[in-house]
């Protein structure tokens, strides 16, 4: 590989494949860093990935093939699994359950978005009732076999699945977390009677006490196995064809990365994997802030997440689709709220004559009308082109924006029907989209007891820098930060993601009668699993860390919360007190109240094994001080055109202050500074936006 390792440089590549664009960040062990964007290719994901690698490599003075050959690691994030679940493009899956519990997926966990809407249609289960089959067996909550598995009946049921054209099977038996012998035996029967058929046992998908979450995780996992195996297999084959000989890692919903083979075996971990990386990069742009609201606006979605005191917020209630009526895995994932409000979101008029934007997206094919690739419907991107935010040459050699096509789409679909001029219609599209995004931010922050006015807004994604100041205005926030890596926020965050996974063991225990010996034995088992996980990556020049946590609640509470402990609880008395104190603090932080006199019930115990990178922090792309010409364009703010300076971003120096109205063209995004706002560039090339006090 002498021609692929010029000057001995080795590379690490991070890729985020979104609904519209594929973002790539390439870092070299010689301290270089390049970024690239390309339209996502749905037929063969590698084509879009390779196009972005080529552009990133070009900024380093190299070729894409050369960088791929010299890469040691590729970290891959994707929304492929999430999109498949939401659109129903998964395998035809059957569900095997304990007799009498066939409605687990139908009943979910109860609840509805609007509790007063008694006419709301009941949502269908993830696996249809006609493909749900009952098995004769029963295990108690204590792990005692009350009814042995009827193997003859199980064989009949499993053999009959072939008549239903079943492609995958999920197995969720009652209290298998207390004793999984029946689930394991059913798995053996599937292998015997339906060889080659994908299947998932609930104790492997999500060993949770909550029956619905185990069943849902197992069902989603089984339905994705064939799809993700093909998707990742095709990518691996294409990478091998490009002579990539390093490790392929995949981003998980936990905000970590795992080896591709482990993800193929458990594809449910890739749900929401793409958006999980943005908070890591977004928070690093403002390390001193107590609360950071990270907004990632791409071509298809707008994602909101929260970072508190440097810790990315996680959740086990990450719904796929609408809360209560969507689907839930119950697995720990980065808490991200996503709405259909990206640059490619389509503007339309509803039956009442009101302007709406999204959630439908033009995606990369055919794309916004301005792309000139066949799209005819107006999008947020088209509105930004008409308003003058985007430079027609924004996308470089890949294609040129067509302002005329954007204008025609807006006039025919929005301006004409509403009796608005082109500029008024374009401004309305941007305003409606911004208000939609601001509402999403308010919902996420206020639900967690955070005042958005006091939080620091960090905006990224290819389109986030265009609306950052507008969002701050709508939220009455004091300032906003646009990271130097804003255009490739998630891909940049993937570079910093650790190799990590969680091991969970359900076991009920009350701190009032804490069994230190049982807890110690259970934690020993979890530690052994963590040791085996770390050993697999012992040669990666990394430092292993271990974190302990419990899922706990006050007695009689319906819902538990995850509580991180400062260390492994040891003796009975000290362990009980440590869990109680940690729980009281977390409950106070989340809910504003605590009951220090109460005991705590532990429902599950967990260990997170994490192997972080020892590399120094990555630089931001682009070198300051490059040549460039400041131009003056006519840009529209508030439906009024005004002379606006347009700066080449790489020509700006640290501490340089820019007075709005102004536009800054960065390599992968466009920063919009409206009238009444100031922007300052720091040493890491992050833009700090503040209101201009003289004009306020």
Rounded Cα–Cα distance for residues 454 and 473 (Å)? 13
**Tell me: the pLDDT tens digits for 309-366?**
778 888 888 888 777 888 889 898 888 888 888 888 999 999 999 999 988 888 888 8
* Assigned token pair, 643: 């002379």
Fold of 2-84+230-270: Nucleotidyltransferase; domain 5 (3.30.420)
- For residue 349 the two structure tokens come to 């008029």
Give the pLDDT confidence of 411-460 residue by residue, as tens digits. 999 999 999 999 999 999 999 999 999 999 998 888 888 888 878 899 99
Segment 445-500, tens digit of pLDDT: 888 888 888 788 999 988 899 999 999 999 998 789 998 888 888 888 888 788 88
State phi, psi for 460 to the nearest 5 degrees.
Answer: -140, -165
Over 50: is that where the pLDDT of 567 sits?
yes
Would strands 21-28 and 311-312 be described as parallel, antiparallel, or unpaired? Answer: unpaired
Determine which helix (DSSP H) or strand (DSSP E) holds 92, and give its type and residue range: none
For residue 89, give both structure tokens: 């493009």
Cβ neighbours for 156, distance < 8 A, ≥ 6 positions apart: none
Give exposure, 400-435, as e/b (b: 16+ Cβ within 10 Å): ebbbebbbbbbbebbbeeeebebbbbbbbbbbbbbe
Q: Please state whether beta strands 93-98 and 257-259 pair in parallel, antiparallel, or not at all (unpaired).
A: unpaired
The per-residue pLDDT for 3 is: 42
pLDDT at 57: 92
> Which of 194-203, 589-598, 650-659, 687-696 has the highest mean predicted lDDT (pLDDT)?
194-203
602-606-607 Cα angle (round to 5): 150
Half-sphere exposure of 372 (CA within 13 A, CB side): 11
Least-confidence region, from 11-15, 137-141, 232-236, 276-280: 276-280
Q: pLDDT tens digit string along 220-244?
A: 999 999 999 999 999 999 999 999 9
Mean pLDDT, residues 147-154: 97
In the predicted model, is pLDDT for residue 386 greater than 60? yes
d(CA 22, CA 364): 10
- Determine if the peptide bond prior to 661 is cis (ω within 30°): yes
pLDDT of 38 higher than 60: yes
Residue closest to 359 by CA, chosen among 245, 460, 424, 437: 437
Question: Looking at the predicted structure, is the pLDDT value of residue 694 above 80?
Answer: no
Contact 329, 318 (CB under 8 A): yes
Statement: residue 587 has pLDDT above 90? yes
Backbone angles phi, psi at 602, to 5 degrees: -100, 130
Least confident of 209-218, 523-532, 606-615: 606-615
Question: Which residues lie closer than 8 Å to 591 by C-beta, 6 or more apart?
Answer: none
Fold agreement between 2-84+230-270 and 275-339+438-495: yes
Whether the pLDDT of residue 5 is over 50: the answer is no
3-state secondary structure of 258: strand
Q: How far apart are CA 406 and CA 417, in angstroms?
A: 16
Judge whether 347 and 424 are in contact, CB under 8 Å: no
Rounded mean pLDDT of 586-607? 92
Separation between Cα atoms, residue 379 and residue 374, nearest integer Å: 13
Across residues 139-148, what is the average pLDDT? Answer: 94
Kind plus residue range of the DSSP H or E element containing 639: none
Q: How many CB atoms lie within 10 A of CB 23?
A: 32
Lowest mean pLDDT among 81-95, 155-169, 175-189: 81-95
Report the alpha-carbon distance of residue 296 to residue 312 in Å, rounded.
Answer: 15
Architecture of domain 499-612: 2-Layer Sandwich (3.30)
The answer to whether the Cα torsion of 344, 347, 350, 352 is positive or negative is: positive
Going by C-alpha positions, the residue among 649, 652, 651, 642 that lies closest to residue 676 is: 642
Q: What does the pLDDT read at residue 83? A: 81
Distance (Å, whole) CA 674 – CA 691? 10
CA–CA dist 197, 417 (Å, integer): 53
Q: How many residues are recorded in the chain?
A: 696
pLDDT of residue 118: 80
The SS3 assignment for 41 reads coil
pLDDT at position 612 is: 73
Tokens 């906003």 locate to 480
| Helix, strand or coil, per DSSP, at residue 581 | helix
Task: Print the SS3 string covering 265-294.
Answer: HCHHHHCCCHHHHHHHHHHHCCCCCCEEEE
For residue 620, what pLDDT band results from cuts at 50, 70 and 90?
low
Q: At 144, which helix (H) or strand (E)?
A: none
Please name the helix (run of DSSP H) or strand (run of DSSP E) that holds residue 604, with its range, or none: strand 601-612
Q: What is the pLDDT of residue 426?
A: 95
**What number of helices (H) and strands (E) belong to the chain?**
18, 35
Residue 438 half-sphere exposure toward CB, CA atoms < 13 A = 18
**What torsion do the CA atoms of 116, 121, 123, 124 make, to the nearest 10 degrees?**
160
Beta strands (DSSP E) in 7-54 are 11-17, 21-28, 33-39
CATH 3.30.420.40, applies to 275-339+438-495: yes
Each domain of the chain, given as residue ranges in start order, spans: 2-84+230-270, 89-224, 275-339+438-495, 345-431, 499-612, 631-691
């Amino acid at each position: 590989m002498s021609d692929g390792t010029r000057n001995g440089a080795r590379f690490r590549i991070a890729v985020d494949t979104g609904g519209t664009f594929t973002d790539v960040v390439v870092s070299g062990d010689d301290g270089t860093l390049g970024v690239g964007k390309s339209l996502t290719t749905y037929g063969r994901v590698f084509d879009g990935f390779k196009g972005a690698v080529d552009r990133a490599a070009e900024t380093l003075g190299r070729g894409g093939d050369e960088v791929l050959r010299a890469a040691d690691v590729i970290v891959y994030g994707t929304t492929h699994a999430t999109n498949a679940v939401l659109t129903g493009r998964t395998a035809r899956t059957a569900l095997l359950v304990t007799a009498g519990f066939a409605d687990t997926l139908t009943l979910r966990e109860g609840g509805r978005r609007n509790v007063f809407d008694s006419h709301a249609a009941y949502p269908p289960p993830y696996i249809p009732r006609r493909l749900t089959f009952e098995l004769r067996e029963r295990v108690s909550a204590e792990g005692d076999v009350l009814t042995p598995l009827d193997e003859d009946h199980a064989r009949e049921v499993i053999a009959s699945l072939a008549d239903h054209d079943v492609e995958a099977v999920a197995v969720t038996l009652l209290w298998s977390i207390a004793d999984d012998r029946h689930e394991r035996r059913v798995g053996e029967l599937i292998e015997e009677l339906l060889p080659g058929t994908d299947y998932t046992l609930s104790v492997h998908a999500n060993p949770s006490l909550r029956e619905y979450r185990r069943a849902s995780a197992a069902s989603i996992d089984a339905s994705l196995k064939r799809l993700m195996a093909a998707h990742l297999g095709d990518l691996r084959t294409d990478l091998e064809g490009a002579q990539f000989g390093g490790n392929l890692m995949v981003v998980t919903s936990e905000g970590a990365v795992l080896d591709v083979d482990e993800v193929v075996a458990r594809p449910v971990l890739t749900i929401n994997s793409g958006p999980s990386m943005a908070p890591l990069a977004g928070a690093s742009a403002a390390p001193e802030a107590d609360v950071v609201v990270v907004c990632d606006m791409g071509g298809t979605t707008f994602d909101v997440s929260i970072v508190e005191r440097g810790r990315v917020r996680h959740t086990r209630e990450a719904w796929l689709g609408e809360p209560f009526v969507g689907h839930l895995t119950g697995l720990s994932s980065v808490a991200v709220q996503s709405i259909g409000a990206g640059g490619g979101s389509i503007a339309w008029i509803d039956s009442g004559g009101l302007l709406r934007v999204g959630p439908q997206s033009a995606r990369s094919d055919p794309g916004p009308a301005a792309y000139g690739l066949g799209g005819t419907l107006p999008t947020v991107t088209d509105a930004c082109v008409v308003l003058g935010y985007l430079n027609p040459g924004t996308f470089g050699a890949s294609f040129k924006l067509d302002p005329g096509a954007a204008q025609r789409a807006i006039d025919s679909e929005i301006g004409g029907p509403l009796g608005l001029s082109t500029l008024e219609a374009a401004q309305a599209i941007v305003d409606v989209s911004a208000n939609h995004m601001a509402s999403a931010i308010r919902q996420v922050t206020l639900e967690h007891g955070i005042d958005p006015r006091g939080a620091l807004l960090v905006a990224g994604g290819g389109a986030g820098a265009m609306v950052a100041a507008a969002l701050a205005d709508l939220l009455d926030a004091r300032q906003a930060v646009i990271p130097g890596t804003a255009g490739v926020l998630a891909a940049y965050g993937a570079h910093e993601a650790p190799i990590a996974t969680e091991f969970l063991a359900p076991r009920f225990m009350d701190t009032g009668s804490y069994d230190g010996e049982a807890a110690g034995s259970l934690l020993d088992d979890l530690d052994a699993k963590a040791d085996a996980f770390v050993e697999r990556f012992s040669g990666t020049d990394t430092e292993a860390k271990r974190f302990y946590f419990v899922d706990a609640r006050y007695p009689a509470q319906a819902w538990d919360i995850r509580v991180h402990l400062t260390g492994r609880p040891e003796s009975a008395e000290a362990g009980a007190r440590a869990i109680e104190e940690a729980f009281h603090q977390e409950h106070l932080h989340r809910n504003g109240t605590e009951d220090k006199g109460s005991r705590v019930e532990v429902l599950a115990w967990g260990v997170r094994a994490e192997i972080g990178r020892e590399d120094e922090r990555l630089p931001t792309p682009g070198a300051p001080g490059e040549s460039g010409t400041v131009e003056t364009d006519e840009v529209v703010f508030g439906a009024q055109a005004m002379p606006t300076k347009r700066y080449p971003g790489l020509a700006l120096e640290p501490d340089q202050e820019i007075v709005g109205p102004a536009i800054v063209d960065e390599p992968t995004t466009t920063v919009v500074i409206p009238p009444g706002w100031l922007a300052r560039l720091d040493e890491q090339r992050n833009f700090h936006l503040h209101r201009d006090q003289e004009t306020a």
